[in-house]
Amino acid sequence: MIVAERKPLAEIVAALGKCRKVLVVSCSGCTAVCFTGGAKQAEVLASSIRMHYRVAGVPVNTGTVAVTRQCDREFLQPIEHRLTGVDAVVSLACGVGVQFLAEAFADLWVVPALNTRFAGGRVGTTLWEERCRMCGDCILHLTGGICPVTRCSKSLLNGPCGGAAGEHCEIDSSIPCAWIHIYERLKRAGRLELWQKLQQPKDWSRGNAGGLGRLAREDYSE
Amino acid sequence: MSSFKPKIIAFCCYNCAYAAADLAGTMRLQYDPCVSVIGVPCTGAIDLTTVLTAFEEGADGVFIAGCLKGECHYKVGNLRALERVKYLKRVLSEAGIDGDRLEMYFLSAAMGSRFAEIAKEMTDRIRGMGPLPLNGCPEEGEGK
């Protein structure tokens, strides 16, 4: 899932500027799962915005509305009636949701409330970790299900680099060396030949280095 | 400032602090009538928005009183409440409200005199801080 974190309130209200009728739109997708963009967080943010302005002596009108997934146009149309008279919308979705919201309502001033961090999952009660960098050319079948692009600090395709100390990365001693883990896993599976095979450079144009990503599915029709 | 009569909401767990407040009454212990006690089945059941609403609706201070650590009838409800209080203190500070207007206490049903002490402690604290800065500005909003 997409993992995101809340921006500081000061940044959000600075972006709101003189807007006094604000609608906070939550997203029940990824950001709700990582406890930053769900309906409850929207209520807390709306309350924070109200209190911030009231402390400054400025009454503000806020409301909240929940959207199943802001990255899906069909879920955005049903909230159109809530936007009447609204000066600005604060979106608790990832960067994708914010853009879909802005695209769906061309005259709407949309403020992002979150910083989108990475694609990952939860590894502790309150700890999320990156697992995929969306390179568009997956090699997990060659590396025992451990992604070196994401989990090796140098994104090496042929590792380890020699800088690992005590099975941890030289860049950050709290991060396990991905390539040592890959080696151990391939060894356990009896497939060390995969590790010995030299990996050719990846086609990075398929990932985030190639401009706007597009995926057309010809096997589906409208 | 001396004429300021704070409004303090005390969310008290039925299994401990609420009974302690009862005991304080039975013991004829005096505490400021500005403290309004609201009973809850467990402090872990208090939602973030419930506390924020209390402030928005005019409370100058809020305290949550749950069971002693390790004695929650729902195991960890009071510890969850403590985490929420820590988070809410940050939320309040971000919005320009002193986080010390919110506090968490732990006590047992037998601690009537401690309840009276806590009520006095919070009343003195809030009286020292003065009225909540929100209370001068009228609220407006469909979310309310």
pLDDT in tens, chain A (222 residues): 999 999 999 999 999 999 999 999 999 999 999 999 999 999 999 999 999 999 999 989 999 999 999 999 999 999 999 999 999 999 999 999 999 999 999 999 999 999 999 999 999 988 999 999 999 999 999 999 999 999 999 999 999 999 998 899 999 999 999 999 999 999 999 999 999 999 999 988 888 777 888 889 989 877
User: Which residues on chain A place their C-beta less than 8 Å from a C-beta of chain B?
Assistant: 8-10, 40, 43-44, 46-48, 50-64
Q: Confidence band (pLDDT; 50, 70, 90) for B78?
A: very high
Mutate to test the interface with B, among A7, A26, A48, A51 (most CBs of B within 10 A): A51
Instruction: Note whether residue B106 is domain-resident.
Output: yes
pLDDT, mean of residues B50-56: 97
Q: How far is CA B5 from CA A152, B56, B100, B124, B126, in A?
A: 60, 17, 18, 11, 9
The phi and psi torsions of A163 (rounded to 5 degrees) equal -95, -5
Instruction: Note whether residue B22 is domain-resident.
Output: yes
Contact between residue A92 and residue A114 where contact means Cβ atoms under 8 Å apart:
yes
- What is the residue-averaged pLDDT of chain B? 93
Instruction: Note whether residue B140 is domain-resident.
Output: no
Q: How far is CA A133 from CA A136, A138, A150, A156, A166, in A?
A: 9, 10, 6, 13, 26
How far, in Å, CA of A46 to CA of A22, rounded? 8
pLDDT at B137 over 70: no
In 3D space, the residue among A84, A4, A12 whose CA is nearest the CA of residue A46 turns out to be A12
pLDDT at B32 over 90: yes
Instruction: Note whether residue B122 is domain-resident.
Output: yes
pLDDT at B139 over 70: no
At residue B140, the pLDDT reads 60
The boundaries of every CATH 3.40.50.2300 domain in chain A are 2-118
Q: How many domains does chain B divide into?
A: 1
Q: For residue B26, what are the domain limits?
A: 8-130
Mutate to test the interface with B, among A35, A47, A48, A58 (most CBs of B within 10 A): A47
The CATH code of the domain that includes B108 is 3.40.50
Burial of A90 (0-12, 13-18, 19+ CB in 10 A): buried
At residue B66, the pLDDT reads 97
Instruction: Note whether residue B135 is domain-resident.
Output: no
Span A2-118 CATH architecture: 3-Layer(aba) Sandwich (3.40)
At residue B102, the pLDDT reads 98
